Chains A and B, each alone.
Chain A
Amino acid sequence: MPLLSFTHRPQNELEKEGRMAAPIQEDAGEPEKTCPNCRKPIPLSRLWANHNTCPCGYHFRMTARQRIHFITDKDSFFELFCGIKAADPLNFPGYTQKMETVCAASGEVEAVVCGIAAIGGYDCCIFVMESYFMMGSMGTAVGEKITSLFEFAQQNRLPVIGYTVSGGARMQEGILSLMQMAKTSGAVKRHSDAGLLYIPVLTDPTTGGVTASFAMEGDIILAEPRATIGFAGARIVEQTTRKPLPRGFQTAEFLLEHGFVDAIVPRHTQKSVLTKLLKMHHPMRGTA
């Protein structure tokens, strides 16, 4: 049991060597990204070493694989249900071609990656949605994978950690996408009724049908700073109400203020927070 030393465990290869960030590359040829918040350029290697956050605190989007890499223990992730792919049940115009393009561009076959992993030495099931795959939209495959993961977690009495990012239900699978909200909610409920822990971590953006289902059904709901979280799109709210939106509308901070998330956790402390929570809910708690 790694319980005693968890607070001092290095969280990644860089920390092991006693530093939080990679050295600044003097090589002038390195590609950079400009931070939309502080407007400063950041070399990509530095961004990557800082979990895709700017020194100013701005959280850039991450791919699902990057998240898995940074949040799970080294080599502990084992992918599940990776063969599940969306069909085109409605013969929706352009959907098959769009999927082919998106698959090629993202390197993923669907908008969520599921598996088992260890975080700080604690076993869990994990799903991470992929914003670079049709904006993490939920169709039948996403619903099926998440449902299967909760069922697997229940059978194996494991907690679930879920990183959400989604534009909502996937329009191209019509009513079948809508049904995934009920289907995933059913699986979350059964997992919950079995006394098991589920922690969603809401990242930018989490909206629509995902917000109105498994994103909001956790025992403890965490969110990344400044993430957009809401049900209806801000533009639609503005059009419907014809009122100016309040400052910070639909941000993680707005949800915290109104009581809909438990805590906002910056990316660099997420692993230690999740580790503590997993430890507190571990069946062997108090015995170590």
Chain B
Amino acid sequence: MNKTAYDKVKIARGNDRPTGLDFIRGIFTDFLELHGDRRYSDDAAIVAGVAFLNSLPVTVIAIEKGRSAKERTLRSFGSPNPEGYRKALRLMKQAEKFKRPIICFVDTSGAYCGIEAEAHGQGQAIAENLMTMMTLNVPIISILIGEGGSGGALALAVADRVYMLENAVYSVISPEGCANILWKDPSKAAQAAACLKLTAQDALYYGIIEDILSETNLGESTFYQRIKEKLLHELDVLNMDPKLLDNRYKRFRKFGMQNDPKEKDPAEKDTIQGSVE
């Protein structure tokens, strides 16, 4: 049976899905978490550090929602504060200094909405990431593993390659928020989800992502092995690219009106493509 857009939203939000830290443990070795933004504090909603991808040193940044109720509260349910984005930026600049590629795992309903978050410049923190990532001179790959909620997700997804898991979603607003604005009725979230074109299949159709990653054997070692091989292969390609930054700019520059999306129906694209088997 075909899943609706809102089915996928619910799957993407599921408590039993692998979280950022599961991906880090499954794909990399010798991960060492590095804490703090060197300005104010350490945001537990973003886990970041250095690790090996096979023999290649990389910088890994992941939004972590947490598992237990206690951990989820500690990590603000994966909604980063400005300090989290600033920590990510600090470590991305460090990656550039040491010529390490950057791998990001995105899973957030959105940047945290709070009094302190606003007082500490949530908008400014996201803006600075968007701007800086555009010219960071190392390959960046971002994978949306669950929810890709608006600017808070994009702040870790200005990348050379962006992938989504089969049931991940990527949206400018939550379906509930959209339904509330459109119909003053948050219970119409399912209709709103369909309107927003937020599935991985839609994102591929509109050229927002390069590929969809199959969730076959989700969370098992073969699943992580597949992603690892894909990362290694793409990093090989990106490391050889003399026009890395020009291509990154063009990647985002093209999202607008002058280009029509690929002449294909999204329904036809509902098959998983290009996963490294």
Q: Which residues of A contact B (CB under 8 A)?
A: 84-87, 89-90, 92-94, 140-141, 143-144, 147, 169-171, 173-183, 185-190, 192-193, 208-209, 211-217, 230-233, 236-237, 240-241, 243, 245-246, 249-250, 254, 258-260
Q: Are A182 and B252 in contact (CB under 8 A)?
A: yes
**Chain B residue with Cβ nearest A144:** B256
Task: Choose among A171, A178, A216 the residue that contacts B128 (Cβ–Cβ < 8 A).
Answer: A216
- Which B residues lie within 8 Å of A230 (CB)? 118, 123
With A93-B195, A174-B198, A185-B130 known as contacts, the answer to whether A240 contacts B113 (CB < 8 A) is yes
Residue on A nearest B194 in the bound complex, by CB = A93
Q: What chain A residues lie within 8 Å of B261 (beta carbons)?
A: 89
14 interchain pairs (CB within 8 A)? A90-B195, A144-B258, A174-B196, A174-B198, A185-B134, A186-B134, A186-B158, A190-B135, A209-B151, A214-B127, A231-B126, A232-B118, A240-B113, A258-B121
Q: State A243–B119 Cα separation when bound (angstroms).
A: 14
Using a CB–CB cutoff of 8 Å, the interface residues on chain B facing chain A are 111-115, 117-124, 126-128, 130-132, 134-135, 150-151, 154-155, 158, 170-173, 178, 181-182, 195-198, 202-203, 206, 208, 248-249, 252-253, 255-258, 261
In the bound complex, what is the Cα–Cα distance between A178 and B203 (angstroms)? Answer: 12
Q: Which 5 A-B pairs have the closest CB atoms?
A: A211-B123, A232-B113, A231-B123, A185-B130, A179-B255
* CB contact between B117 and one of A174, A182, A232 (< 8 Å): that residue: A232
Among A192, A213, A237, point to the contact of B114 (Cβ < 8 A): A237
A-B contact count (CB 8 A): 181
Question: Is B114 within 8 A of A216, CB to CB?
Answer: no
- A214's nearest neighbour on chain B, judged by CB, is B127
Given A175-B198, A186-B131, 16 additional A-B pairs, CB 8 A = A85-B257, A89-B257, A93-B195, A169-B151, A174-B196, A179-B255, A182-B255, A183-B253, A186-B130, A189-B132, A212-B122, A212-B124, A212-B126, A216-B121, A216-B127, A231-B113
Chain B residue with minimal CB distance to A148?
B256
- Interchain nearest-CB distance for A141 vs B (Å): 6
CB distance from B246 to the nearest CB of A (A): 10
For residue A236, give the distance in angstroms from its CB to the closest CB of chain B.
5
Q: Is the CB of A212 within 8 A of B151?
A: yes
A207 to B130, CA, bound (A): 16
In the complex, chain B residues whose CB is within 8 Å of the CB of A258:
119-121
Evaluate whether A213 and B127 lie within 8 angstroms (CB atoms) in the complex, with A87-B257, A180-B255 already known: yes
Q: Is the CB of B113 within 8 A of A179?
A: no
Given A212-B151, A237-B114, CB of A175 within 8 Å of CB of B172: yes
Count chain A CB atoms within 10 A of each CB in B119, B122, B181, B256 and give the residue with the most: B256
- B130 adjacent to A245 (CB under 8 Å): no
Q: Which of B131, B151, B172 contacts A217 (CB 8 A)?
A: B131
- Which of these, A92, A140, A236, contacts B195 with CB under 8 Å? A92
CB pair A211 B127 closer than 8 Å: yes
- For residue B186, give the distance in angstroms from its CB to the closest CB of chain A: 12
B122–A232 CB distance below 8 A:
yes
User: What is the minimal beta-carbon distance from B4 to any residue of chain A, in angstroms?
Assistant: 16
A174 and B196 CA atoms in complex are apart in Å by 5
Whether A175 contacts B202 in the complex (CB less than 8 A), given A189-B135, A230-B118, comes out as: yes
